Structure formats: C-alpha cells, structure tokens
C-alpha cells in the first residue's frame, strides 16, 4: 500500500472517530500523528499486523490464555481510565512510569500479543495498543450508574419507550434452532450441502440459480407451531403496559405475532414466512398456503402464473439443453437443472417450457434490501423517542441490524440478555442465561406477574455475579427437586480464569528498560483497524 493511500485511510478513520467521539479523538489523533511523523526503523510488518488484527476475536472481552495478562478487574480499570484520562495521559501515567508494559496493557482490551513480536522490545507492541485504543474508543461508553439486576428491573419499570431487539435465541426453547450456535445451530448442520459457507443457502444469487438448495433446508426452519415463549410474552407485556416503542426482530418465524405483538409495534428486519411472493409476477400469497409443499420437498409455484399458463395452453419450443453451470453447481459437482424433480419429465429438458414462477418466502436473503420500514422507523421515529434498549437472544454479528444499537443516543441505557456475552458493544447490564429465565426474574423484580405454561411452577432462579465484572450476571433456573439449568458459561469457570492470573499492577518486571512515550512511538507505522462486516441476512444470532 502506498504512503498516500495509507494517509488517506488513516485520515478517514480519524474523521469517523472524530464524529463519534470528538473529545477522545483529539488525544488519539495526537498519538497517531506522532507515530506517523517518526522515522521507520526498518520494520516491514504491515501485512503481519493486519493479519494479526483480523485473527483477534470481537467476542473476546478478556484474554485468558496469555501469561501475565490483565485480570478482569484490571481490564475494567484500564478501559475506564482510557475514557476518563484519554490515550496520552494514560500512556504518560502508566507506560512512561513503568507501572505496566505495553504488552500487558493490550490484553486489557481483549487483544492477544502477536506471536511474531515475542521476544521483541516492548515498544514494538505500540501499533497493537493504538489499534486497541481505537477500537475501544469507537464503542459506546458504558453508563457506570447501571450495574445490578435491580437496576435493569427499575429501568424497565420506569421507561416508557423501550426498543427491544431480538434474535433467534428467544425461540430456541420451542425447539427452533438458532443459526450460529456451535453443533446445534442451523449453519453447523449444513456442511453436507458442500457449500464453501453455510450462509450461501441464503444468498439470493444462489436461490435464483438453484432454489432447491434453499427449499431442502426450508423445511427445517419452517414455523411449525402457534406457541410462543415466555420471552415473547414479556415483549407483548411491554406493549400491553404501553412501554414498547418498537420490537426489531431478526427472526423469520413470525412468532411475535402469535404472542400478540401488533404489526404497528413490530419491524421484521429480515422478513418472515408470513407471506411469499412470486419471483416472476410478484403475486403475493399467505405463507401458510405453501408450507405443505415445502414440507413435502417440493418447490412451490405461483397459482396466478399456473392459471395464466393454463389459459394459454401448453406450448413447447424445441431448444438445446439448459445449462446449469454456475458457482453453486460447480461446488457441488452437480449439473442439475433448478427445479428438476419437482415437476415435468426428462424429455422436457429439451424444450423451453413456459413454467410458473417460484413462490419465495418473504425472508430477506443476503444480497437483498431490508424492508423500508426498518430504516424509516429507526431514523425518523424511534431514535428521538427511545429511553431504553433491550437486546435479547442475538450476538449482533450481522449488519445493518447490528448497527441499531450504536446508532441510538449513547445516553440511553442498554440491557443485554443472552447466553453468552459480547464485547464489541458496551452494554450497561449483561444478564446471561436462558432468555426465558432472565425475563421471568426481571418481571418478578419489577412486580409483574409473567404467567406462562413453559415457566415451571415454583421455579427457583439463582443469580451470581461474574468475577471482575460488576455489571455481568449469570442466571440459573430450575424447578424444585431438579438440578439447575445454567447458562453455557458458568461464573465458576470465569472466576477460575481470573484467579489463575497474577493480580499485580506493577508491570516493571515485564520489561527491564522503562519505555518513554517518545521512544515507544519512534519508528512505528500505526494503521487504523479495519473490522470486516457481513451484509444483512435473514438470520442473525
């Protein structure tokens, strides 16, 4: 990459950072400018640093497998100091004085020290630290006054315009699989299709080329119940109490409607199976009318097209064999004609037969635009009214839905409910465990009676605080005389990870020579971190 392109990239990164965080960006820019103006000392590690950054997990909030990494308490402390002091003052007080090494400090922000720098002078870790600072400052700052479960319950009690953002995790207790969970998620079960990426099932180009791929999977994700979970009822309860501003759902099962959430309060960001539309004539039908065909392994055809073709009569025009070449076909080693086997005979391959259009469920595929209602409601209505955000059952990995939370005013409290924490967004309170268990306890503390057949009678709910995280809570729900059902990450395991690390704050022993800021930035080319994002899809957990 040329020097001019490097400077343009860094300038663009600064403009974005300045727009979001004008106060913090001044210090950060000064650090980066000093590094840029320094002379190079011969390092040729641009691609190595970029590769190392891409390997770092956005989900990792604490480095647990690196010797002398920061403890959870230290990580919280340094993230707080970064915002309060700014990058320059933090470096001055803790790096220049030798209290902590750069190598150790980067672990406070979830970064592992790159292996190719092992044994190098501590100052060579500065580019990683700058990237860690940039990523942390780009996040919304946690509101420090909200930490406890009661804080979350009180917020729900007093708020009047709540945005609830939901993912597939709120439906898993009905036996509906989510998409991204290891071993149990839908994507993990699609390896037999021979695709490079399971998400290709939901790419619109692949659907146009060979819809049989999608319909072979659709039977497994088809809504098969009119039931709904306690979490769905919790959202409907917010509506009944006049507190629900909007439920932005990434789910395609349309269960929110079963629970009573009104269309005026519901934005189905990725569409749903509620309707289906002909790819040829745009005729729309009620989704349930094609469910039987999908379950039978057939490709549903448009009744309006069929009626028109019958009126015209059957006309065949001789032509050459139809090609099925394309990326999907080549990957599977298949040469099948799309729709083959669903209707027609082998002899029909030699003819251009007018056929009815395919009815595609109105779920949003990769490569399709989200419904207009998504952006319009968010930007023109909800942003100015929202007073609380609750995210339930989604890891917020898929854009643009993942951008809803950072787009909203940063002073609006945010609560996160799911089995696993996320680290690319700073929520004010993390409530970790089965969604149904968490909302049951929240309702109890808010003084609301959440009655549902799936909530065990006399259910006992135990909560525990994650060590080192004053706002992260684990929930365990069980009926009397049964064992607790806990979240996938127990507080014991988290605590063990924290206790096994050194708890000292003096990092002078980690490096023999004190590193001044001037020495540290000398000769280091700092690049802004580019975080790859996926486009929107019909699923997002």
User: Does the annotation list 70 as a binding residue?
Assistant: no
183, 192, 232, 270: which one is catalytic? 270
| Domain boundary, last residue among 363, 390, 414 | 363
Q: What is the pLDDT of residue 101?
A: 93
- Asked whether residue 46 carries a pLDDT value surpassing 60, the answer given is no
pLDDT at 483 over 90: no
> 76 and 40 in contact (C-beta within 8 Å)?
no
CB 416 within 8 A of CB 431: yes
Residues 25, 15: Cα–Cα separation, whole Å: 9
pLDDT of residue 186: 58
* Whether pLDDT at 37 is above 80: no
Higher-confidence residue of 11 and 285: namely: 285
Residues 323 and 430 in one domain: no
Do 338 and 476 lie in a common domain?
Answer: no
> Of the ranges 26-35, 285-294, 316-325, which is most confident?
285-294
Same domain for 128 and 65, yes or no, is yes
Domain check: are 258 and 398 in the same one? yes
Domain containing 188 equals 181-224+271-363
Write down how long the chain is.
541
pLDDT of residue 333: 40
- Predicted pLDDT of residue 45: 45
Q: What's residue 213's pLDDT?
A: 83
Q: Is 278 annotated as a binding residue?
A: yes
Tell whether 152 and 19 lie within a shared domain. no
Residue 190 vs residue 479, higher pLDDT: 479
The C-alpha atoms of residue 36 and residue 45 are separated, in whole angstroms, by: 15
Assess if residue 162 is contained within a domain: yes
**What average pLDDT does the segment 409-435 reach?**
94
> Is residue 307 located within the same domain as residue 275?
yes
Cα Rg for the chain, rounded, in angstroms? Answer: 27
Banded model confidence at residue 41, pLDDT cuts 50, 70, 90: very low
Residues 354 and 444 in one domain: no
Category of 398 on φ-ψ map: left (φ > 0), alpha (ψ -120 to 50) or beta = beta
Q: Which of 150-154, 216-220, 252-256, 349-353 has the lowest mean pLDDT?
A: 349-353
Per the model's pLDDT, the better-predicted residue between 372 and 154 turns out to be 154
CATH number at residue 218: 3.30.1600.10
Question: Given pLDDT bands bounded at 50, 70 and 90, which one contains residue 229?
Answer: very high
176 confidence band (pLDDT: 50, 70, 90): confident
The domain spanning residue 483 has which CATH number? 3.40.50.1220
Task: Decide which of 344, 363, 382 is a domain's last residue.
Answer: 363
pLDDT for residue 334 is more than 50: no
Residue 385 burial (C-beta neighbours within 10 Å; 0-12, 13-18, 19+): exposed
pTM: predicted TM-score of the whole model, two decimal places: 0.67
Please report the pLDDT score of residue 185 as a whole number. 53
Instruction: HSE, CB side, 13 Å, CA atoms: give it for residue 156.
Output: 28
Whether 409 has a pLDDT exceeding 50, the answer reads yes
Among 60-64, 118-122, 490-494, the least confident range? 490-494
> Is residue 22 located within the same domain as residue 148?
no
Question: Do 196 and 339 belong together in one domain?
Answer: yes
49: confidence class by pLDDT, cuts 50, 70, 90: low
Residue 473, pLDDT > 60, answer yes
Q: What is the pLDDT of residue 195?
A: 60
433 pLDDT above the threshold of 80: yes
Q: What per-residue confidence (pLDDT) applies to 271?
A: 86
Are 124 and 160 contained in the same domain?
Answer: no
pLDDT at res. 513: 40
In this structure, is residue 383 part of a structural domain? yes
Q: Is residue 348 part of a domain?
A: yes
Q: Which of 46-50, 199-203, 247-251 has the highest mean pLDDT?
A: 247-251
Q: Is residue 372 scored above 70 in pLDDT?
A: yes
Of the two residues 377 and 335, the one the predictor is more confident about is 377
Degrees, nearest 5: CA angle 491-493-497: 115
Could you say which of 345, 363, 381 is where a domain stops? 363
DSSP 57: -
Average pLDDT of the residues of the chain: 75
270 is annotated as an active-site residue? yes
Q: Tell me, what's the pLDDT at 536?
A: 43
The CB density around residue 527, as the number of other CB atoms within 10 Å, is 19
Residues 406 and 259 in one domain: yes
pLDDT given at position 316: 45
The mean pLDDT of 420-431, rounded to a whole number, is 92
The answer to whether residue 330 sits within a structural domain is yes
* Cα separation values, 139 from 80, 83, 109, 368, Å: 12, 11, 12, 28
Is pLDDT at 52 greater than 60 in this prediction?
Answer: no
Question: How many Å apart are CA 459 and CA 479, to the nearest integer?
Answer: 4
Q: What is the pLDDT of residue 364?
A: 87
In a domain, 502, yes or no: no
Q: Confirm or deny that 305 is annotated as ligand binding.
A: yes
Residue 39 within any structural domain of the chain: yes
180-188: long-range contacts (C-beta < 8 A, 24 or more apart)?
A: 180/395, 180/397, 180/539, 180/541, 181/541, 185/541, 186/217, 186/220, 186/221, 186/539
pLDDT at residue 29 in the model = 58
Q: Does some domain include residue 531?
A: no
Determine the average pLDDT of the residues in 4-23. 43
Q: 193 pLDDT band (50/70/90 cuts)?
A: low
Dmax over Cα atoms in the chain, in whole Å? Answer: 89
Q: Label the pairing between strands 351-352 and 359-363.
A: unpaired
User: Is the pLDDT reported for residue 373 higher than 70?
Assistant: yes
Q: DSSP per residue over 390-419, as a string?
A: EEES----BTTGGGHHHHS-TTS-EEEEES
pLDDT at 329: 42
Question: What is the structure's pLDDT at 175?
Answer: 81
In which residue are the tokens 């007093």 written? 158
Please give the pLDDT value at position 272. Answer: 86
Helix, strand, or coil here: 7? helix
The secondary structure of 451-464, three-state, reads CCCCCCCCCEEEEE
Question: CA–CA distance from 480 to each of 54, 178, 439, 441, 491 (Å)?
Answer: 47, 29, 19, 16, 22
- Return the minimum-mean-pLDDT range out of 6-15, 127-136, 432-441, 517-526: 517-526
Give the pLDDT of residue 505. 39
- Across the range 238-243, mean pLDDT stands at 98
Sign (positive or negative) of CA dihedral 134, 136, 138, 143: negative
What is the pLDDT averaged over residues 150-157? 98
Residue 376 neighbours by CB distance under 10 Å: 12
Considering Cα of 313, then 316, then 317, then 321, what sign does the dihedral take?
A: positive
User: What are φ and ψ of residue 39, in 5° steps?
Assistant: -80, 145
CA–CA separation, 259 and 236 (whole Å): 6
pLDDT at position 159 over 80: yes
Same domain, 380 and 418: yes
Q: Is residue 514 part of a domain?
A: no
3-state percent helix, strand, coil for the chain, nearest multiple of 5: 45, 15, 45
Q: Which of 70, 140, 71 is nearest to 102 (CA)?
A: 70
Burial category of 12 from C-beta neighbours within 10 Å (exposed 0-12, middle 13-18, buried 19 and up): exposed
Split into its structural domains, the chain has a count of 3
User: CA 149, CA 379: separation in Å to the nearest integer?
Assistant: 30
Distance CA 251, CA 258 (A): 13
């Amino acid at each position: 990459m040329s020097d001019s392109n490097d400077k343009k990239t860094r300038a663009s990164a600064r403009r974005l950072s300045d727009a979001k965080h004008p106060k913090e960006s001044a210090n950060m820019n000064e650090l980066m400018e000093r590094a840029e103006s320094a002379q190079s000392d011969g390092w040729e590690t641009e691609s190595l640093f970029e590769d190392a950054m891409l390997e770092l997990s956005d989900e990792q909030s604490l480095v647990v497998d690196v010797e002398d990494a920061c403890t959870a308490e230290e990580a919280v402390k340094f993230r707080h100091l970064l915002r309060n002091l700014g990058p320059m003052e933090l470096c001055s007080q803790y790096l220049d004085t030798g209290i902590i090494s750069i190598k150790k400090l980067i672990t406070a922000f979830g970064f592992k020290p790159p292996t190719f720098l092992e044994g190098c002078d501590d100052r060579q870790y500065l580019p990683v630290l700058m990237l860690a600072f940039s990523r942390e400052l780009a996040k919304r700052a946690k509101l420090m006054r909200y930490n406890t479960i009661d804080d979350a319950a009180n917020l729900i009690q007093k708020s009047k315009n709540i945005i609830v953002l939901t993912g597939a995790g709120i439906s898993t207790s009905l036996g509906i699989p989510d998409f991204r969970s290891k071993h149990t998620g839908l994507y993990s079960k699609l390896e037999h299709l021979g695709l490079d990426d399971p998400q290709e099932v939901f790419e619109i180009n692949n659907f146009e080329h060979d819809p049989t791929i999608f319909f072979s999977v659709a039977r497994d994700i088809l809504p098969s119940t009119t039931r709904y979970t306690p979490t769905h009822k919790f959202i409907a309860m917010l509506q009944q109490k006049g507190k629900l501003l909007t439920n932005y759902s990434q789910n395609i099962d349309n269960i929110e409607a079963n629970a009573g959430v009104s269309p005026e309060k519901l934005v189905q960001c990725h569409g749903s199976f509620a309707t289906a539309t002909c790819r040829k004539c745009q005729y729309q039908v009620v989704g349930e009318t094609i469910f039987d065909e999908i379950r039978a392994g057939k490709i549903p055809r448009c009744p309006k097209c069929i009626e028109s073709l019958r009126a015209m009569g059957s006309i065949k025009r001789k032509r050459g064999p139809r090609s099925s070449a394309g990326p999907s076909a080549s990957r599977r080693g298949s040469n099948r004609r799309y729709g083959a086997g669903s209707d027609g005979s082998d002899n029909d391959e030699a003819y251009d037969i007018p056929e009815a259009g395919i009815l595609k469920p109105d779920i949003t595929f990769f490569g399709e635009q989200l419904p207009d209602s998504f952006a319009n409601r968010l930007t023109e209505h909800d942003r100015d009214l929202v007073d609380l955000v609750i995210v339930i059952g989604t890891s917020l990995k898929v854009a643009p839905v993942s951008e809803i939370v950072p787009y909203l005013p940063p002073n609006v409290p945010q609560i996160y409910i799911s089995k696993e924490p996320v680290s690319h967004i700073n929520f004010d309170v993390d409530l970790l465990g089965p969604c149904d268990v968490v909302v049951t306890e929240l309702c109890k503390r808010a003084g609301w009676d959440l009655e549902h057949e799936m909530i065990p009678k006399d259910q006992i709910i135990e909560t525990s605080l994650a060590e080192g995280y004053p706002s992260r809570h684990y929930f365990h729900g069980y009926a009397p005389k049964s064992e607790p059902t806990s979240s996938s990450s127990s507080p014991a395991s988290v605590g063990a990870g924290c206790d096994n690390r050194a708890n000292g704050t003096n990092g002078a022993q980690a490096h023999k020579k004190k590193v001044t800021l001037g020495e540290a930035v000398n000769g280091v080319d700092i690049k802004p971190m580019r975080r790859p994002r996926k486009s929107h899809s019909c699923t997002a957990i």
